[in-house]
Amino acid sequence: MTQDPSFAASMLGSIVYAIIILAVGFWGAKMVARLVKGLMERRELDQALCGFVSNLINALVVTIAVIAALNQLGIQTTSLVAIVGAAGLAIGFALKDSLGNLAAGIMILLFKQFKAGDLIEAAGVLGVVESLDIFSTQLKTGDNKTIFVPNGKLVGDNIINYSTKPTRRVDLVIGVSYDADLSHVKSVLVDVLAKDDRVLKEPEPTIGVLELADNSVNFAVRPWVNAADYWGVYFDVHAAVKNRFDAEGIGIPYPQRDVHLHQVPAPGKATKKK
C-alpha cells in the first residue's frame, strides 16, 4: 500500500510546526517568567512570592504551548481540556483549605501586613515572625516555642503588629489607699517617670485617676517609650513605684471586706426583760 506523498509532507510539516511551537513556547515561558520576576523584584516584593508567581506563569505558558502543538498535529484537544478542567476542579475541592492558605499567603506577601522579625498577635498567638511561606507563617513565642500558623487563619483574624511603629505607650494601673493624698500620689508618679531616661518627654506621660474601685483608688499611668524599651519600662516602673510608695508612706491596699454579725435569738427562747 503506497502512501500519498502530499499527506506525508503535510504530516512532516505539522510535526515541524509543532516542534517549533513547543520550542518557542518553552523559550517564551522562561522569558515571560523571568520578566515578571524581575518586575516584582524591582518593586521589592517578597522572594517567595516572586518565585511562586514566576513558576506559575511558566507552567501556564508551557501548557498553552503544548495544547497549541497538539492542535497543530490534528489532535482534538477539546476533550483533553475538559478532562484537565474537571481534574483541576476536583483537586481544587480536595485542597480547598490549602488553596485558601495559598491565597492568604499571597495577600500577606503583596500587602506586607508584617515581615520577618515583627512581633505580632493574631489567631490567638503572640510571637515574633521567623519566616513567611506561601501556606503558613512561622512564629517564635516568648518562651521559645515555634508555632506554624496557617495563613488563612491570619488573614481571617485581626492582626496586631507591635513592630510597625517606633514608639509604644505603656499602660499601667496603680492602686492606692482611699486615705492617700491624691495630689501627693500624682506628684510621686510624675517624679518616678521623670527619673527614667527611657520614658519619652514627647508625647507627655498621662497620669490621672482612672476609677474608684472597691478597695483602692486606681491611677492610670501611661508613659510613651521606644518600642524596644517597652517591657523594661513596664517591669522597672512597677518596682520603682512600690519602692517610692514605701518611702513616702503611701499605702497600697489589700482586698478587704467589712463583715457585720447579727445575733438572732434561738427559736422558743424568750428574751429577759429588765
- Read off the pLDDT of residues 3-27 as tens digits, 9 standing for 90 and up: 556 656 666 777 778 788 888 888 8
Q: What is the pLDDT of residue 78?
A: 67
pLDDT-based confidence at residue 210 (cuts at 50, 70, 90)? very high
Q: What is the pLDDT of residue 162?
A: 92
What integer is the mean pLDDT of 222-244? Answer: 96
Q: What is the pLDDT of residue 56?
A: 74
Q: What is the pLDDT of residue 192?
A: 96
Of 46-55, 129-138, 190-199, the range with the lowest mean pLDDT is: 46-55
pLDDT over threshold 90, residue 243 = yes
Q: What is the CATH number of domain 9-94?
A: 1.10.287.1260
What integer is the mean pLDDT of 218-226? Answer: 97
Residues carrying CATH 3.30.70.100, the chain: 167-248
Q: What is the pLDDT of residue 9?
A: 64
What fold does the segment set 114-161 form as a domain? SH3 type barrels. (2.30.30)
What fold does the segment set 167-248 form as a domain? Alpha-Beta Plaits (3.30.70)
Q: What is the pLDDT of residue 270?
A: 54
Percent of the chain residues topping a pLDDT of 90? 38
pLDDT-based confidence at residue 1 (cuts at 50, 70, 90)? very low
pLDDT over threshold 60, residue 177 = yes
Q: What is the pLDDT of residue 30?
A: 85
What integer is the mean pLDDT of 26-50? Answer: 76
Higher-confidence position of 163 and 52: 163
Nearest Cα residue to 90 out of 101, 79, 82, 80: 82
Percent of the chain residues topping a pLDDT of 70? 80
Identify which of 42-46, 83-87, 129-133, 140-144 has the greatest average pLDDT.
140-144
pLDDT over threshold 90, residue 240 = yes
The pTM score is: 0.61
Residues carrying CATH 2.30.30.60, the chain: 114-161
pLDDT over threshold 70, residue 195 = yes
Average of per-residue pLDDT values in the chain: 82
What integer is the mean pLDDT of 221-236? Answer: 96
